[in-house]
Structure 1
Amino acid sequence: MTDHIENLAADVQAFTSNVFLVTGDRTALVDTGANFDVVSRIETRVDDLDTVVLTHTHGDHVGNVDAVRAAFDVDVQGHESAQPVVDTELGEAVRLGDHDYRVVHTPGHKDDHVCLYAPELSVCFAGDLVFANGAFGRTDLEEGDRETLIESIDRLRGTVDPGLSVLHAGHGPSVTSDAYATIERAAAAARQR
């Protein structure tokens, strides 16, 4: 089986993050988004969720956590179990769909930020660390730090394979060509003052 990954927030006009539904062995939601009815969108595609994994706990990524938790009685995983929206702390890897994703701690945008990388599938969920066209996450919010963000982008660049097929960003389009080069561009752009 091959994972199917769909952005449930692709056409949403509200302030939200992308919300990725990963189907396969272990049906998962990467981030829950905010300010739209994600539950009905999930229900039209799958009968149940096995887990929710958060890239980080900014409001636009976790605003729908309570609704998703109530509808599916699902465990919410994140980097820090001290966060009220997190039920279980992520370990070194997490199963999404039919593949294991490495959990890469990537602070700088927010202290609890992680990226998720499946080497076998050549897919990375980058949250708000890097975006299409080499853009990078904001560092002017609480817990934001430019130097830490640069270190995290470098860590991600050193973790993923140069042949990375797809980079799913927390906002905007997914990168389906030159995904590794997008990370390199973000690393260079973040160093510019």
Structure 2
Amino acid sequence: MEVRYICPTAYDSSVYLVNGKVLIDAGMSSDLIIRELEKSIKLTDLELIILTHCHYDHTAAAAEIAEKSGAKVGIHRADLEGVNDEYLSVSVLFGDRAPAVKPTVIYEEGDRIPIGNEEFLEVIHTPGHSKGSICLYEPVSKSLFSGDTVFPGGGFGRMDFEGSEPEKMLGSVEKLTKLDVKNLYSGHGAPNDRDGNKQIMASYTMLKMMMGV
């Protein structure tokens, strides 16, 4: 699996181009992201944009990227409504309207998304940060795209937004501890390519401490 990491500004989510045809999250700065993509691919080669959850900093640029590339946009069913709601998408916190993107591909737990080269991403539903947060696992390279569920260094996503489900977060992170992860590609910050399992376990431990479990 070939992954290109794109981080247009400090406020955008991390954006990942996978195998030259699948984009994981879209950030907010569409012009910057499109310019970065065109350094590697023809924009029309992009086939799919997968949104790890409905929040504005991950989704705002998706509509323009999809329009210019012809790519489909997918999201978990539980965040389908939230992506176009200014409160559930938290666009109101950025002083903007909700994203205009209209996902047409709906994911559920356990779905397998082909990404070329006979590889796939497995959808893991991890509610907590949002109702429809997902992580994406590629088993051959032992890679996890974790969205805003967990971050390197023991971090995990905020659970105080409208639509967050804090009571489900611990179970979601525990689910991730059962995977064999080497490469951790989180929704913010640079990728970790050495000890993903250790990073996820640190997040789980920190979350348990915070919750007093």
Report the TM-score when normalising by structure 2: 0.81
Alignment size in residue pairs: 184
Deviation at 1:143, TM superposition (A): 1.7
In structure 1, what is the Cα distance between the partners aligned to 2:60 and 2:203? 27
| 1:32 correspondence with 2:32 | no
| 1:95 correspondence with 2:89 | no
| Counterpart amino acid of residue 15 in structure 2 | V
Q: Residue in 2 aligned with 1:186?
A: 203
| 1:177 correspondence with 2:177 | no
* 1:83-162 alignment runs, 5 A limit: 83-84=83-84, 85=101, 86-91=103-108, 92-98=111-117, 99-158=119-178, 160-161=179-180
Deviation at 1:36, TM superposition (A): 4.9
Q: Residue in 1 aligned with 2:96?
A: none
Deviation at 1:41, TM superposition (A): 1.4
| Counterpart amino acid of residue 71 in structure 1 | K
Deviation at 1:96, TM superposition (A): 2.3
In structure 1, what is the Cα distance between the partners aligned to 2:16 and 2:190? 12
In structure 1, what is the Cα distance between the partners aligned to 2:130 and 2:168? 10
Aligned to 1:54, which of 29, 34, 51? 51
Deviations 1:130-159 (A, max 9, x none): 10111111111112233311110011212x
In structure 2, what is the Cα distance between the partners aligned to 1:180 and 1:29? 24
Deviation at 1:14, TM superposition (A): 4.2
Q: Residue in 2 aligned with 1:18?
A: 14
Q: Residue in 2 aligned with 1:75?
A: 72
Aligned to 1:43, which of 32, 38, 41? 38
Gaps spanning 5+ residues in structure 1: where? none
| Counterpart amino acid of residue 66 in structure 1 | A
SS of corresponding position for 1:100:
strand
Deviation at 1:42, TM superposition (A): 1.2
| Counterpart amino acid of residue 26 in structure 2 | T
Deviations 1:63-118 (A, max 9, x none): 10111011101100110244553211025111224311110000100011000001
| 1:65 correspondence with 2:65 | no
% identical aligned pairs: 29
| Counterpart amino acid of residue 89 in structure 1 | I
Task: Give the CA RMSD over aligned residues.
Answer: 1.5
Counterpart contact for 1:16–1:34, Cα < 8 Å:
yes
Q: 1:97 to 1:131 in 2, by over 3 A?
A: farther
SS of corresponding position for 2:121:
strand
In structure 2, what is the Cα distance between the partners aligned to 1:20 and 1:123? 12
Deviation at 1:176, TM superposition (A): 1.3
In structure 1, what is the Cα distance between the partners aligned to 2:184 and 2:116? 16
Gaps spanning 5+ residues in structure 2: where? 85-100
